[in-house]
Chain A
Amino acid sequence: DAGVTQSPTHLIKTRGQQVTLRCSPISGHKSVSWYQQVLGQGPQFIFQYYEKEERGRGNFPDRFSARQFPNYSSELNVNALLLGDSALYLCASSLASSGGSYEQYFGPGTRLTVT
Chain B
Amino acid sequence: AQSVTQLDSQVPVFEEAPVELRCNYSSSVSVYLFWYVQYPNQGLQLLLKYLSGSTLVKGINGFEAEFNKSQTSFHLRKPSVHISDTAEYFCAVSRYSSASKIIFGSGTRLSIRP
Contacts and interface: CB of A to CB of B under 8 A. Distances in A.
Interface of A: 4, 31, 33, 35, 40-45, 48, 50, 55-56, 58, 90, 92, 94, 97-109
Nearest to B104: A42
Nearest to A105: B46
A100 B104 contact: no
Contacts of B94: 100
B100 interface: yes
28 contacts: A4-B43, A33-B101, A35-B104, A40-B106, A40-B107, A42-B106, A43-B44, A45-B101, A48-B101, A50-B100, A55-B100, A56-B98, A56-B100, A56-B101, A90-B43, A90-B44, A97-B100, A98-B97, A99-B96, A100-B99, A102-B100, A104-B46, A104-B100, A105-B46, A106-B36, A106-B43, A106-B44, A109-B42
Given A55-B98, A101-B51, 9 more contacts: A35-B104, A41-B107, A43-B90, A43-B102, A98-B98, A99-B99, A100-B99, A102-B100, A106-B43
A45 B43 contact: no
Interface of B: 4, 32, 36, 42-46, 49, 51, 90, 92, 94, 96-107
B29 to A, nearest CB: 13
Nearest to B107: A42
The secondary structure that dominates the B interface is strand
Contacts of A35: 102, 104
| Chain A CB within 10 Å, residue with most, of B43, B94, B101, B106 | B43
- 7 shortest interchain CB distances as A-B pairs: A42-B104, A100-B32, A106-B43, A106-B44, A108-B43, A48-B100, A100-B99
The secondary structure that dominates the A interface is loop
Contacts of B103: 45
B100 A31 contact: yes
Contacts of A102: 99-100
A90 B106 CA distance: 16
Contact of A43 (B42, B51, B100, B104): B104
Contacts of A44: 104
A35 B90 CA distance: 14
